[in-house]
Chain A
Amino acid sequence: MQSFSYEKPGSTAAIVARLAEAGGTARLLAGGTDLIGQIRSRLVKPSLVLDLKGARELALLGADASGLSIGAAVILNRLLEERAVSEGPYRALTQAVSELASYNIRNRATLVGNVTNASPCADSVPPLVVLDARAEIAGPSGTRELPVLELISGVRETRLGPGELVTRIRVPAPAPGTWSGFLKRKRVRGHDLALANVALLRDPERGRLRMSVGSCNPVPVLLDLDAMFARPEVERAVALALERVRPIDDVRASIEYRREMVAVMVRRLFAEAPRS
Chain B
Amino acid sequence: MSRLHQYVGGEHLRQDAPDKVTGEAIYVGDMAFPGMLWGRFKSSPIASGRILRIDTARARALPGVRAVLTGEELDHQLGLYMADKRILARGVVRYQGDPVAAVAAESEAMASEACNLIEVEYEPLPAVLDVEQAIEPGAPLVHPDLGSYRYMKGVFHPQPGSNVAHHQKIRRGDLEKGFAEAHRVFETSFWNPAVPHVPLETHVVIARALSGDRVDLWTAAQSPFTVRHLMAAGFGIPHNNIRVRIPYVGGGFGGKAGINLEPLATMLSKATGGRPVKIVATREEEFNTLPSRQGLKSRIKAGVTREGKLTALEVRYLWDAGAHADYGVNIGRAAATAGAGPYFVPAVKVDSLVVYTNKVFGTAFRGFGHLEVLWGIERNLDMMAHALGIDPFEMRQRNFLTPGEPTITGEIFTANHGRPDLCLKTVADAIGWSERPREDHPPKRPAPIGGKRRGYGIASLHKSPAMPVYTSCSCILKFNEDASVNLLISGVDYGQGTYTALAGIAAQELSIPVEKVHVTWDCDTATQPYDWQTVASRFAVMGGNAVIAAARDCLDQLKAVAAQVLHAPVEDLVCENEEVYVRKDPGARLHYRQLVIGYSFPNGSSIGGPVIGRGRYIAQGLTHLDPETGQGRNALNWTYGAHGVVIEVDTETGDIDVLKIASCMDAGKVLHLAAARTQVEGGVIQGLGSALIEGFKFDESGRLLNPSFVDFKIPTAKDLPREASQHFIETPQLDGPHGARGIGEHPMIAIPSAIGNAIYDALGIQIHELPLNAERVFLALKHAQPNDAARP
Q: Which of B750-792 contact A (CB under 8 A)?
A: 773-775, 778-779, 782, 791-792
Are the C-beta atoms of B775 and A188 separated by less than 8 Å? no
- Residues of chain A within 8 A of B779, CB atoms compared: 254, 256-257, 260
Binary contact track B689-730/A, C-beta < 8 Å → 1, others 0: 000010001000000011000110101111100000000000
For residue A202, CB closer than 8 A to chain B, the reply is no
Contact of B719 among A190, A238, A242 (CB under 8 A): A190
Binary contact track B668-707/A, C-beta < 8 Å → 1, others 0: 0000000000000000000000000100010000000110
Interface centre among B706, B718, B775, B779 (most CB of A within 10 A): B775
* Dominant secondary structure at the A interface: loop
For residue A193, CB closer than 8 A to chain B, the reply is yes
Q: A189-B718, A253-B775 are in contact. Are A260 and B792 (CB under 8 A)?
A: yes
- Residues of chain B within 8 A of A228, CB atoms compared: none
For residue B130, CB closer than 8 A to chain A, the reply is no
Binary contact track A170-208/B, C-beta < 8 Å → 1, others 0: 000000000000000101111111000000000000000
B716 nearest CB neighbor, chain A only: A190
Contact of A187 among B109, B652, B718, B774 (CB under 8 A): B774
Are the C-beta atoms of B792 and A263 separated by less than 8 Å? yes
Are the C-beta atoms of A264 and B719 separated by less than 8 Å? no
Are the C-beta atoms of A254 and B775 separated by less than 8 Å? yes
Are the C-beta atoms of A192 and B713 separated by less than 8 Å? yes
Are the C-beta atoms of B792 and A190 separated by less than 8 Å? no
Contact of A190 among B652, B705, B717, B774 (CB under 8 A): B717
Contact of B718 among A190, A256, A261 (CB under 8 A): A190
- Residues of chain B within 8 A of A264, CB atoms compared: 652-653
- Assembled-state Cα–Cα distance A191/B718 (Å): 9
Number of A-B contacts (CB under 8 A): 52
- Residues of chain B within 8 A of A134, CB atoms compared: none
For residue A275, CB closer than 8 A to chain B, the reply is no
A242 nearest CB neighbor, chain B only: B792
- Assembled-state Cα–Cα distance A239/B652 (Å): 17
B704 nearest CB neighbor, chain A only: A251
- Assembled-state Cα–Cα distance A238/B706 (Å): 31
- Residues of chain B within 8 A of A260, CB atoms compared: 778-779, 782, 791-792
Contact of A189 among B697, B716, B773, B791 (CB under 8 A): B716
Are the C-beta atoms of A251 and B713 separated by less than 8 Å? no
A102 nearest CB neighbor, chain B only: B716
Are the C-beta atoms of A189 and B719 separated by less than 8 Å? yes
For residue A259, CB closer than 8 A to chain B, the reply is yes
- Residues of chain B within 8 A of A1, CB atoms compared: 109
Binary contact track A71-102/B, C-beta < 8 Å → 1, others 0: 00000000000000000000000000000000
Are the C-beta atoms of A188 and B715 separated by less than 8 Å? yes
Contact of A251 among B697, B719, B791 (CB under 8 A): B697
Are the C-beta atoms of B775 and A257 separated by less than 8 Å? yes
Q: How far is the CB of A254 from chain B (nearest CB, A)?
A: 7
- Assembled-state Cα–Cα distance A50/B713 (Å): 33
Q: A238-B792, A242-B792 are in contact. Are A188 and B718 (CB under 8 A)?
A: yes
- Residues of chain B within 8 A of A239, CB atoms compared: 792
- Assembled-state Cα–Cα distance A189/B484 (Å): 48
Binary contact track A247-274/B, C-beta < 8 Å → 1, others 0: 0001111101101110110000000000
- Assembled-state Cα–Cα distance A261/B792 (Å): 10
Number of contacting residues on A, CB 8 A?
24
Q: How far is the CB of A3 from chain B (nearest CB, A)?
A: 8
Q: How far is the CB of B651 from chain A (nearest CB, A)?
A: 10
Number of contacting residues on B, CB 8 A?
23
Q: How far is the CB of A103 from chain B (nearest CB, A)?
A: 11
Are the C-beta atoms of B778 and A188 separated by less than 8 Å? no
Q: A251-B705, A257-B775 are in contact. Are A190 and B713 (CB under 8 A)?
A: yes
Q: How far is the CB of A210 from chain B (nearest CB, A)?
A: 21
- Assembled-state Cα–Cα distance A253/B773 (Å): 11
Are the C-beta atoms of B653 and A191 separated by less than 8 Å? no
Are the C-beta atoms of B713 and A187 separated by less than 8 Å? yes
- Residues of chain A within 8 A of B711, CB atoms compared: 251-252
Q: Which of B481-534 contact A (CB under 8 A)?
A: none
- Residues of chain A within 8 A of B774, CB atoms compared: 185, 187
A186 nearest CB neighbor, chain B only: B713
- Residues of chain A within 8 A of B713, CB atoms compared: 187-188, 190, 192
Contact of A261 among B653, B697, B705 (CB under 8 A): B653
- Residues of chain A within 8 A of B773, CB atoms compared: 187
Q: How far is the CB of B772 from chain A (nearest CB, A)?
A: 12
Are the C-beta atoms of A191 and B716 separated by less than 8 Å? yes
Are the C-beta atoms of B719 and A193 separated by less than 8 Å? no
- Residues of chain A within 8 A of B715, CB atoms compared: 188, 190
- Assembled-state Cα–Cα distance A252/B782 (Å): 19
B711 nearest CB neighbor, chain A only: A251
- Assembled-state Cα–Cα distance A252/B713 (Å): 10
Q: How far is the CB of A177 from chain B (nearest CB, A)?
A: 29
- Residues of chain A within 8 A of B716, CB atoms compared: 188-191
- Residues of chain A within 8 A of B792, CB atoms compared: 238-239, 242, 259-260, 263
- Residues of chain B within 8 A of A257, CB atoms compared: 775, 778-779
- Residues of chain B within 8 A of A187, CB atoms compared: 693, 713, 773-774
- Assembled-state Cα–Cα distance A1/B108 (Å): 10
- Residues of chain A within 8 A of B652, CB atoms compared: 264
- Residues of chain B within 8 A of A263, CB atoms compared: 791-792
Are the C-beta atoms of B705 and A188 separated by less than 8 Å? no
A42 nearest CB neighbor, chain B only: B116
B713 nearest CB neighbor, chain A only: A188
Q: How far is the CB of A235 from chain B (nearest CB, A)?
A: 10
B710 nearest CB neighbor, chain A only: A193
- Residues of chain B within 8 A of A190, CB atoms compared: 713, 715-719
- Assembled-state Cα–Cα distance A1/B715 (Å): 29
- Assembled-state Cα–Cα distance A252/B711 (Å): 7
B714 nearest CB neighbor, chain A only: A188
- Residues of chain A within 8 A of B778, CB atoms compared: 257, 260
B657 nearest CB neighbor, chain A only: A189
- Assembled-state Cα–Cα distance A190/B715 (Å): 7
Can you name 12 extra interface pairs (CB under 8 A) apart from A187-B774, A188-B716, A264-B652? A185-B774, A187-B773, A188-B693, A189-B719, A190-B719, A239-B792, A242-B792, A251-B705, A253-B775, A254-B775, A256-B779, A260-B791
29 A-B residue contacts at CB 8 Å? Answer: A187-B713, A187-B774, A188-B693, A188-B716, A189-B718, A190-B713, A190-B715, A190-B716, A190-B717, A190-B718, A190-B719, A192-B713, A193-B710, A238-B792, A239-B792, A242-B792, A251-B697, A252-B711, A253-B775, A254-B779, A257-B775, A257-B778, A259-B792, A260-B778, A260-B779, A260-B782, A260-B792, A261-B653, A263-B792
Q: Which 6 residue pairs are nearest across A and B when measured between Cβ atoms?
A: A190-B716, A189-B718, A251-B705, A257-B775, A190-B718, A188-B713
